[in-house]
C-alpha cells in the first residue's frame, strides 16, 4: 500500500489507524516466520554440508579411510561436526584396524531434504515456514538445532479491508479531505472552507510548557513592600557595611554588650574603621556614660570612640532607620525597609549568616504603644496572619518592648515573629528626636519558611530551579487569602 | 539568653498558690518569660538579660506574687549593721580594684537551694559579670572562717591553697596552668604583676578571684551562715549582683548583715539598699501607652510590679526594690505599668497621622529589570553577598578585586563580600547540575565595593547578572540579550570592545561601554571555568552595572 500511495509505511499506518477508528476499514494481522540462511548455512549452501563432504571423501577413497587422514583433509573445524552428523544419520561407522581407527562408509546417501532446503534458500533468499511442505518443515526444525545454519524471524503482516460502512459512505463525504493542521496557506487560499478538520484526541499527553518565575523569597518581599506602601510607609535603604556607632552605640547598646561580641557580629579586617558622625558623637557618648540630658542614669562606663568607629556588617536594619531618624528628626516619619542583615553564625537548617529583616518605624507627636500594637496587627493581618498576640519582651533600645506572636492556622502553632517597642529616650534624644518612635522588626525568612511550608531555611539560597519552578505563581497570594 | 529550670512544687510553695499549666504559661509570659518546656514536675523558662533578678525561682516567684496580687508593692528588706569588715590593700587597684560583701545569717540550706545558688551565680557571672570579667562572685561557709577579711594582691608563688575540684594545695600560678577554671579564666589576670586574693584574719584563703574558691569554704546543707564576696572592675555591676543575691537569700529565709569595705582612702558599707526615688509623670505614662489611666490605676499597676509608690498631686514617686537593677529611666516604669495592666488588656489602636507610601527608587529599578529578564525567559535566583576568595576569583580565573574582608568569620565559606554577580550565577548553575536544561537564570543583587569617600568606607552597588546554560549557548545569544536589555533600559550610544580575559573564552567576549565607562561585560564562559564549577554545559553570561547605568543619577549613594 505504501508503495502504491507513495508514502512511508509509518504515515500509512497512522492513516489506517485513523480510518479504523472511524470504522471505515478492518485490519487483519497475520504472523509468519521468515526463514533465512545463517552464517554457516550460507557457507554450506554454496559448498556442501560437512557430513556430505565426509561421505564424498570416503566414497572416493573406496569406502574407508584412516581417521587421522580424514582429519587432515577436512580440517579440524569440519572433521568433528561432519563425523557427528554422518554417524547420527547412520552413513558411517568407526572400525579399529591395524594402523589405527578407520571411518567406514555404510551407505552413500541421496540428496537429503535439508540439502534441498539449503538449495532453495540459496536461490530464493527466504521462505515462510508456514508455507512449506511437511518434509521441508521437518528440515527447518532439524537445521534449527544446528548453530547458525538458518535464522528465523517473526513477521507481522497487516491486511487492510474496507468495511461495509466504507462501501456505503456517500461520495461527498468521501471527497471532503480531513486535515490535521490549519496552515497559513489554507488561510490565504481560503481552502480551509473545503476541508474537514480532524478531531484530536484531547486527552493525549502533550509536551510540558515552562514558565519562568520570580524567586519565591522575592515574591514575598514584593508583597510585603506593597503592604507597607498601602499603609503609607516610605521605603528606605542603607549601607550594608556599617559603623558600629549606628548599629549599636546610637541604639544605646553598651560597648560590652554580648551582641557586640565577635561571636555574633562580623567585624571587618579591611576596611576596619570608619568616620564617626561628629554631630551626634558627644550626645551619644553622654547618653552611655551618664545619661546626658535624657533623664537616664546611663550605663555608667567609659565610652570609647575607637569601639564606635569599628566597621561591621550591619546586624539589623535598625542601623538604617536610626540613621534616617538622625537626618530627619521632624515628625511625621513613617518609613520601612526589607533588606539584608548579617550574623556571624554557623549556617545550618535553622540559621543563616545573611538574611532579611522586615522593619518599620513611625515617629509622630502623639503616637503610642497601643498604636504600635494596632499597626502591627493591621500589617500582619494583611499577610493573612489575623490571629496575633503580644507579650512583654526586652531590647536594649526600646521601652516599652514587646514581642508579637502570630498563629499559623495550618500548623496550629504560635510563631514568634516580631520584636517591637518604642525607642528609648536615650536613643532618640541624642539625635534630636523629640517624639515617640514606634519601631518593629522581624525576620523575613522565618515568615517565608512558614508560608512556603519548608523546614530548611537554606532552601531559599540554594536556588534549586526545579523547586523555584514548582511553586505556583499565585501560591502566596492564595496562601495569605488575597486571592 | 539564660535559661532557668524551676521545680513546680518549689514554685507553688514560694507562690503559696497552685496554678494549672495554662494559667502558669500565661503568668510566665506576662512576666516577659519565654516558656521553653513544661512538664509534670518542672518548667523551663528563658529570661531576658535586663532582669538578672529572674536568675532564681525565688526571683520569679517574687515578681509573680505581685502580678497575681498575692503581695503588692516593694518587698521590705531589713539590713543588719556591719559587725566585721574587709580591708582592701592598695595592690589590688592594678588587677581587680573593687570588692563588695555581705553576710547572710541563719539560713537553712539544702541540696536544692545550694544548686539554685550555684546556677544563679553562674547566670550572674554571665549577665552582669560578662563571664567574670566585670564581676566574680564567691559564696563561702562563714562558720569555718575567722573575720575580718583582707582583700589583697600577691605574687603567683606567694600563696597556695586547695582549690575547689582539687585534693591538693596549689600555688596561684599552678592553678592558672593546671586547674580547669584556672585555664579557662587565666586571661582575666594574666600579665598582671600580682593576683587578687581574699584571706581571713588567720591568713586562710577564701578565694582567688575571679578564678576559684578554696575548698575550705564550700557550701553544704549544714552551713548556717554565709559570707558573700563580689570582686570586679565596675562598682555598679558589683552592687547589682550583690543586691540580687542578698535579696534572694533573704527571701530564702536568711538575715542580711552588712559588711564594711575599708580602702586606704575611703570606706563604704555593703549591701547598700538606699533606693533611688524616681519621679514618674502620669501624663507621660498615659501618652506613651496611649491610655487615660487614673492615678490609682497606675499606682496599682506599679505595685503589682513590686514597686513602692508615693503620690503627690499628678506626680508619682516610685521606689523600686534593690534587685531591680534594670531601671535607668522614667520610661522603664511605663513598661512596668503596661505589664501591670497586662499586654493582652491593651486595645490596639491606629495612629491618626496620614502619610503617603512610596517605594525606594532602587526597588523600582529592580522591578523593571525583573520584568525585562522574566520577559526574556530567565528565572530569578538569589544568592548571598557573603562569599570567599575561591569562588569569587580562583574558580573564575581572575585576579582578586578590591573587596571588603571579614575579620572573624565563623566559617571559611564566608570571608569576603562579593564584588560581582557572575560567580553567584556559576554557583547556582553548579547547584543545578541535575536540573533539566536549558537553564536560563538571572540575579539582581548588590555587591559591596571599598570606597574611601564615604564614612563607612564601602558602598553597595546594584548589578544585574544573567547566564544562559544549554547545549547551544553562545556569544551571539548573550549579545542579543544584552541589546534587548539595554534597549529596554532606554540606553543607546553604547558600544562594545574586545575582551580577551577570563572568565570568558578568548575572542568570544566583550566589554560594554557607555561614554568611555565600562558598564558591563558578556561572553561565553571559558571551559576551564565551567570545569572549575563542574558545569558540563556551554554557558554564556552577561553582567551589567546598574548603578553606573541608571542608579547613579540619584543623589543617594546606596
The arithmetic mean of pLDDT across residues A424-439, rounded, is 96
In a domain, B525, yes or no: yes
Question: Backbone dihedral region of B17: left (phi > 0), alpha (psi from -120 to 50 degrees) or beta?
Answer: beta
The arithmetic mean of pLDDT across residues B70-83, rounded, is 95
Of A213, A233, A370, the CB nearest to B349: A370
B14 lies in the same domain as B63 = yes
CB contact under 8 A, B457 and A212: no
pLDDT for the residue numbered B558: 41
Q: Please check whether residue A254 touches B, CB under 8 A.
A: no
Burial class (CB in 10 A: 0-12, 13-18, 19+), B342: middle
Nearest Cα residue to B196 out of B188, A37, B204: B188
Residue A449 belongs to domain spanning: 216-479
Average pLDDT value for chain A: 90
Residues 223 through 242 of chain B touching chain A, CB cutoff 8 Å: 234, 236
B197 lies in the same domain as B52 = no
Output the domain CATH number for residue B340: 3.30.56.10
pLDDT for the residue numbered B182: 92
CB contact under 8 A, B456 and A241: yes
In a domain, A143, yes or no: no
Contacts of B15 (CB under 8 A, 6+ apart): B61, B64, B65, B68, B70
In a domain, B32, yes or no: yes
Strand order, beta sheet including B405-406 = A268-270, B405-406, B416-417, B386-387
Band of pLDDT at residue B552, cut at 50, 70 and 90: low
Task: Record the cell numbers describing residue A472, joined without a space.
Answer: 505556583
Q: CA A206, CA A204: separation in Å to the nearest integer?
A: 6
Tell whether the model's pLDDT for residue B556 goes beyond 80: no
Q: Residue A212 CA to chain centroid, in angstroms?
A: 13
Task: Record the cell numbers describing residue A148, joined without a space.
Answer: 547458525
Torsion angles phi and psi, residue B511, rounded to 5: -90, 140
B41 lies in the same domain as B17 = yes
A230 lies in the same domain as A88 = no
Nearest Cα residue to A309 out of A262, A280, A275: A275
The arithmetic mean of pLDDT across residues A42-58, rounded, is 86
Q: Please give the ipTM for the structure prediction.
A: 0.93
Tell whether the model's pLDDT for residue A405 goes beyond 50: yes
**Percent of chain B clearing pLDDT 90 (strictly above):** 91
Strands B79-80 and B255-262: parallel
**Farthest CA pair distance, chain A:** 139
CB contact under 8 A, B335 and A392: yes
Contacts of A394 (CB under 8 A, 6+ apart): A401, B32, B48, B49, B50, B51
CA-based nearest residue in chain B for residue A233: B357
In a domain, B480, yes or no: yes
The arithmetic mean of pLDDT across residues A462-475, rounded, is 94
pLDDT for the residue numbered B553: 53
Output the domain CATH number for residue A338: 3.30.930.10
DSSP 8-state assignment for residue A216: H
In a domain, A15, yes or no: no
CB contact under 8 A, B405 and A301: no
- Which residue, of B270, B292, B324, is where some domain finishes? B270
In a domain, A279, yes or no: yes
CB contact under 8 A, A370 and B289: yes
Output the domain CATH number for residue B478: 3.30.930.10
- Which residue, of B67, B101, B119, is where some domain finishes? B67
In a domain, A256, yes or no: yes
In a domain, B354, yes or no: no
A176 vs B346, which has greater pLDDT? Answer: B346
Residues 258 through 317 of chain B touching chain A, CB cutoff 8 Å: 287-291
In a domain, A43, yes or no: no
The arithmetic mean of pLDDT across residues B117-141, rounded, is 94
Tell whether the model's pLDDT for residue B132 goes beyond 80: yes
B367 lies in the same domain as B413 = yes
A333 lies in the same domain as A465 = yes
In a domain, A60, yes or no: yes
Q: CA B73, CA B320: separation in Å to the nearest integer?
A: 9
CB contact under 8 A, B448 and A375: no
B63 lies in the same domain as B84 = no
Q: Please check whether residue B48 touches A, CB under 8 A.
A: yes
pLDDT for the residue numbered A57: 87
pLDDT for the residue numbered B516: 86
Closest-CA distance of chain A to residue B119, Å: 20
Tell whether the model's pLDDT for residue B294 goes beyond 60: yes
Q: Under a CB-based contact definition with an 8 Å cutoff, are residues A106 and A92 in contact?
A: yes
Contacts of A43 (CB under 8 A, 6+ apart): none
Q: Which DSSP helix (H) or strand (E) runs through A94?
A: strand A92-97
- Which residue, of A110, A125, A155, is where some domain finishes? A110
Region of poorest pLDDT, from A193-197, A296-300, B19-23, B266-270: A193-197
Q: Please check whether residue B382 touches A, CB under 8 A.
A: yes
Contact list, B333 vs chain A (CB under 8 Å): none
Band of pLDDT at residue A104, cut at 50, 70 and 90: confident
In a domain, B350, yes or no: no
Nearest Cα residue to A34 out of A119, A123, A116, A131: A131
To 5 degrees, how large is the angle CA B344–CA B350–CA B356?
Answer: 145
Band of pLDDT at residue B417, cut at 50, 70 and 90: very high
B260 lies in the same domain as B321 = no
Closest-CA distance of chain A to residue B181, Å: 21
Q: Could you tell me the CA-to-CA distances from A267 to A113, A274, A308, B404, B412 in Å, in that order?
A: 98, 12, 12, 10, 15
- Which residue, of A92, A110, A128, is where some domain finishes? A110
Tell whether the model's pLDDT for residue A98 goes beyond 80: no
Band of pLDDT at residue A193, cut at 50, 70 and 90: confident
CB contact under 8 A, B458 and A391: no
Tell whether the model's pLDDT for residue A1 goes beyond 50: yes
- Which residue, of A71, A88, A110, is where some domain finishes? A110
Q: Please check whether residue B42 touches A, CB under 8 A.
A: no
Count of domains in chain A?
2
Number of residues assigned to chain A: 483
Three-state SS for B328-345 is CCCHHHHHHHHHHHCHHH
Q: Please check whether residue A273 touches B, CB under 8 A.
A: yes
Band of pLDDT at residue A107, cut at 50, 70 and 90: confident
A93 lies in the same domain as A234 = no
B325 lies in the same domain as B456 = no
Closest-CA distance of chain B to residue A173, Å: 46
CB contact under 8 A, A469 and B432: no
Band of pLDDT at residue B216, cut at 50, 70 and 90: very high
Q: CA A177, CA A18: separation in Å to the nearest integer?
A: 13
In a domain, A442, yes or no: yes
Angle formed by the axes of helices B361-375 and B475-488, nearest 10°: 140
Task: Record the cell numbers describing residue B399, joined without a space.
Answer: 585576579
Output the domain CATH number for residue A91: 1.10.10.10
Band of pLDDT at residue A176, cut at 50, 70 and 90: low
In a domain, B352, yes or no: no
Q: Which DSSP helix (H) or strand (E) runs through B295?
A: helix B295-304
- Which residue, of B313, B345, B377, is where some domain finishes? B345
The arithmetic mean of pLDDT across residues B201-218, rounded, is 94
Q: Which residues pair with A354 in a beta bridge?
A: A342
pLDDT for the residue numbered B188: 93
Q: Residue A455 CA to chain centroid, in angstroms?
A: 20
Number of residues assigned to chain B: 558
Tell whether the model's pLDDT for residue A22 goes beyond 50: yes
Output the domain CATH number for residue B163: 3.50.40.10
pLDDT for the residue numbered A86: 87
Q: What is the dihedral of CA A298, B51, B233, B260, to 10 degrees?
A: 100
Q: What is the dihedral of CA B416, B421, B425, B427, to 10 degrees?
A: -10
Contact list, A400 vs chain B (CB under 8 Å): 288-289, 331, 334-335, 338-339
Strand order, beta sheet including A150-162 = A126-128, A25-37, A150-162
Count of domains in chain B?
4
A246 lies in the same domain as A379 = yes
Nearest Cα residue to B238 out of B103, B102, B107: B102
Closest-CA distance of chain A to residue B131, Å: 10
CB contact under 8 A, B408 and A262: yes
Q: Please check whether residue A481 touches B, CB under 8 A.
A: no
Q: Mutation test of the interface with chain A: which of B48, B277, B343, B460, choosing the one with the most A Cβ atoms within 10 A?
A: B343
CB contact under 8 A, B357 and A232: yes
Band of pLDDT at residue A174, cut at 50, 70 and 90: low
Residue B365 belongs to domain spanning: 361-557
Contact list, A313 vs chain B (CB under 8 Å): 406, 417
SS3 content of chain B, % helix, strand, coil (to 5): 35, 30, 40
Contacts of A212 (CB under 8 A, 6+ apart): B374, B377, B378, B379, B380, B440
In a domain, A389, yes or no: yes
Residues 323 through 352 of chain B touching chain A, CB cutoff 8 Å: 328-332, 334-335, 338-339, 343-344, 346-352
Amino acid at each position: 500500500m505504501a508503495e502504491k500511495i507513495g508514502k512511508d509505511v509509518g504515515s500509512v499506518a497512522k492513516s489506517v489507524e485513523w480510518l479504523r477508528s472511524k470504522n471505515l476499514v478492518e485490519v487483519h494481522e497475520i504472523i509468519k516466520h521468515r526463514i533465512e540462511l545463517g552464517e554457516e548455512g550460507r557457507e554450506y549452501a554454496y559448498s556442501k554440508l560437512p557430513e556430505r563432504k565426509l561421505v564424498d571423501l570416503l566414497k572416493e577413497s573406496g569406502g574407508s579411510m584412516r581417521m587421522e587422514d580424514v582429519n587432515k583433509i577436512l580440517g579440524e573445524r569440519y572433521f568433528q561436526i561432519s563425523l557427528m552428523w554422518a554417524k547420527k544419520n547412520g552413513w558411517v561407522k568407526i572400525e579399529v584396524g591395524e594402523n589405527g581407527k578407520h571411518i567406514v562408509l555404510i551407505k552413500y546417501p541421496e540428496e537429503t531434504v535439508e540439502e534441498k532446503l539449503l538449495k532453495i534458500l540459496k536461490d530464493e533468499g527466504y521462505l515462510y515456514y508456514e508455507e512449506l511442505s511437511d518434509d521441508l518443515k521437518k528440515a527447518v526444525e532439524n537445521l534449527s538445532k544446528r548453530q547458525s545454519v538458518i535464522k528465523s524471524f517473526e513477521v507481522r503482516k497487516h491486511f487492510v479491508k474496507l468495511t461495509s460502512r466504507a462501501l456505503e459512505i456517500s461520495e461527498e463525504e468521501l471527497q471532503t479531505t480531513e486535515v490535521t493542521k490549519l496552515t497559513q496557506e489554507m488561510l490565504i487560499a481560503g481552502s480551509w472552507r473545503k476541508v474537514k478538520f480532524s478531531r484530536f484526541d484531547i486527552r493525549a499527553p502533550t509536551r510540558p510548557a515552562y514558565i519562568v518565575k520570580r524567586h519565591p523569597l522575592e515574591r514575598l518581599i514584593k508583597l510585603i513592600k506593597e503592604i507597607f506602601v498601602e499603609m503609607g510607609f516610605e521605603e528606605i535603604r542603607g549601607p550594608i557595611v556599617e559603623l558600629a556607632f549606628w548599629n549599636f552605640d546610637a541604639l544605646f547598646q553598651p560597648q560590652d554588650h554580648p551582641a557586640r561580641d565577635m561571636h555574633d557580629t562580623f567585624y571587618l579586617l579591611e576596611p576596619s574603621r570608619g568616620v564617626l558622625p561628629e554631630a551626634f558623637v558627644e550626645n551619644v557618648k553622654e547618653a552611655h556614660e551618664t545619661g546626658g540630658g535624657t533623664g537616664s542614669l546611663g550605663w555608667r562606663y567609659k565610652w570609647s570612640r575607637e569601639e564606635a568607629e569599628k566597621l561591621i556588617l550591619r546586624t539589623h536594619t535598625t542601623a538604617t532607620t536610626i540613621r534616617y531618624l538622625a537626618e530627619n528628626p521632624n515628625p511625621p516619619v513613617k518609613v520601612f525597609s526589607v533588606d539584608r542583615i548579617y550574623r556571624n553564625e554557623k549556617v545550618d537548617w535553622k540559621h543563616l549568616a545573611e538574611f532579611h529583616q522586615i522593619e518599620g518605624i513611625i515617629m509622630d507627636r502623639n503616637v503610642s504603644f497601643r498604636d504600635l500594637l494596632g499597626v502591627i496587627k493591621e500589617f500582619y493581618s494583611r499577610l493573612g496572619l489575623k490571629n496575633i498576640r503580644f507579650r512583654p519582651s526586652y531590647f536594649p533600645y526600646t521601652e516599652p518592648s514587646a514581642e508579637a506572636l502570630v498563629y499559623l492556622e495550618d500548623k496550629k502553632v504560635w510563631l514568634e515573629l516580631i520584636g517591637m517597642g518604642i525607642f528609648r529616650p536615650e536613643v532618640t534624644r541624642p539625635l534630636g528626636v523629640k517624639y515617640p518612635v514606634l519601631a518593629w522588626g522581624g525576620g523575613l525568612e522565618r515568615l517565608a519558611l512558614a508560608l512556603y511550608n519548608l523546614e530548611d531555611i537554606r532552601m531559599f539560597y540554594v536556588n534549586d530551579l526545579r523547586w523555584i519552578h514548582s511553586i505556583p505563581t499565585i501560591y502566596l497570594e492564595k496562601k495569605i487569602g488575597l486571592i | 539568653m539564660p535559661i532557668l529550670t524551676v521545680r513546680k512544687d518549689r514554685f507553688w510553695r514560694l507562690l503559696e498558690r497552685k496554678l494549672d499549666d495554662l494559667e502558669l504559661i500565661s503568668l510566665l509570659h506576662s512576666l516577659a518569660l519565654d516558656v521553653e518546656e513544661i512538664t509534670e514536675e518542672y518548667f523551663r523558662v528563658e529570661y531576658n538579660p535586663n532582669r538578672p533578678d529572674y536568675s532564681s525561682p525565688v526571683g520569679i516567684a517574687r515578681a509573680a506574687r505581685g502580678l497575681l496580687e498575692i503581695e503588692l508593692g516593694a518587698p521590705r528588706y531589713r539590713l543588719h549593721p556591719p559587725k566585721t569588715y574587709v580591708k582592701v590593700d592598695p595592690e589590688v587597684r592594678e588587677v581587680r580594684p573593687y570588692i563588695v560583701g555581705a553576710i547572710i545569717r541563719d539560713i537553712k540550706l539544702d541540696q536544692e537551694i545550694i544548686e539554685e545558688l550555684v546556677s544563679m551565680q553562674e547566670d550572674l557571672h554571665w549577665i552582669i559579670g560578662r563571664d567574670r570579667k566585670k564581676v566574680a562572685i564567691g559564696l563561702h561557709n562563714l562558720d569555718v572562717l575567722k573575720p575580718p577579711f583582707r582583700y589583697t594582691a600577691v605574687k603567683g608563688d606567694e600563696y597556695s591553697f586547695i582549690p575547689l575540684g582539687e585534693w591538693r594545695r596549689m600555688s596561684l600560678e599552678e592553678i592558672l596552668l593546671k586547674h580547669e577554671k584556672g585555664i579557662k579564666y587565666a586571661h582575666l589576670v594574666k600579665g598582671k604583676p600580682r593576683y587578687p586574693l581574699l584571706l581571713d584574719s588567720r591568713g586562710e584563703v577564701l578565694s582567688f578571684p575571679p578564678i576559684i574558691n578554696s575548698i575550705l569554704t564550700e557550701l553544704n546543707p549544714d552551713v548556717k551562715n554565709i559570707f558573700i564576696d563580689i570582686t570586679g572592675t565596675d562598682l555598679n555591676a558589683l552592687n547589682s549582683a550583690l543586691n540580687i543575691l542578698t535579696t534572694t537569700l533573704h527571701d530564702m529565709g536568711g538575715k542580711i548583715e552588712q559588711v564594711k569595705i575599708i580602702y586606704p582612702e575611703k570606706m563604704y558599707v555593703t549591701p547598700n539598699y538606699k533606693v533611688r526615688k524616681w519621679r514618674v509623670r502620669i501624663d507621660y505614662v498615659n501618652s506613651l501607652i496611649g491610655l487615660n489611666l487614673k492615678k490609682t490605676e497606675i499606682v496599682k499597676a506599679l505595685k503589682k510590679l513590686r514597686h513602692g509608690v508615693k503620690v503627690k498631686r499628678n506626680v508619682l514617686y516610685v521606689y523600686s526594690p534593690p534587685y531591680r537593677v534594670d531601671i535607668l529611666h522614667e520610661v522603664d516604669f511605663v513598661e512596668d505599668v503596661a505589664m501591670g495592666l497586662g499586654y493582652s488588656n491593651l486595645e490596639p489602636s491606629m495612629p491618626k497621622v496620614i502619610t503617603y507610601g512610596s517605594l525606594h527608587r532602587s526597588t523600582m529599578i529592580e522591578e523593571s529589570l525583573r520584568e525585562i529578564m522574566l520577559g526574556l525567559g530567565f528565572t530569578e535566583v538569589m544568592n548571598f553577598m557573603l562569599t570567599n576568595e575561591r569562588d569569587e576569583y580562583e574558580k573564575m580565573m581572575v585576579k582578586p578585586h578590591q573587596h571588603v574582608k571579614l575579620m572573624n568569620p565563623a566559617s571559611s565559606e564566608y570571608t569576603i563580600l562579593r564584588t560581582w554577580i557572575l560567580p553567584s550565577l556559576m554557583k547556582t548553575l553548579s547547584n543545578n547540575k541535575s536540573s533539566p536544561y536549558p537553564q536560563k537564570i538571572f540575579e539582581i543583587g548588590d555587591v559591596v565595593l571599598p570606597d574611601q569617600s564615604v564614612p563607612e568606607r564601602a558602598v553597595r552597588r546594584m548589578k544585574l547578572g544573567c547566564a544562559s546554560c544549554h547545549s547551544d549557548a553562545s556569544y551571539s545569544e548573550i549579545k542579543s540579550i544584552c541589546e534587548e536589555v539595554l534597549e529596554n533600559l532606554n540606553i543607546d550610544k553604547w558600544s562594545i570592545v574586545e575582551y580577551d580575559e577570563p572568565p570568558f573564552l578568548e575572542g568570544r567576549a566583550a566589554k560594554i561601554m557607555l561614554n568611555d565607562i565600562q558598564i558591563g561585560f558578556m561572553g561565553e564562559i571559558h571551559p576551564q571555568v565551567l570545569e572549575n564549577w563542574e558545569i558540563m554545559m556551554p554557558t554564556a553570561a552577561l553582567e551589567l552595572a546598574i548603578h553606573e547605568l541608571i542608579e547613579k543619577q540619584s543623589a543617594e549613594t546606596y
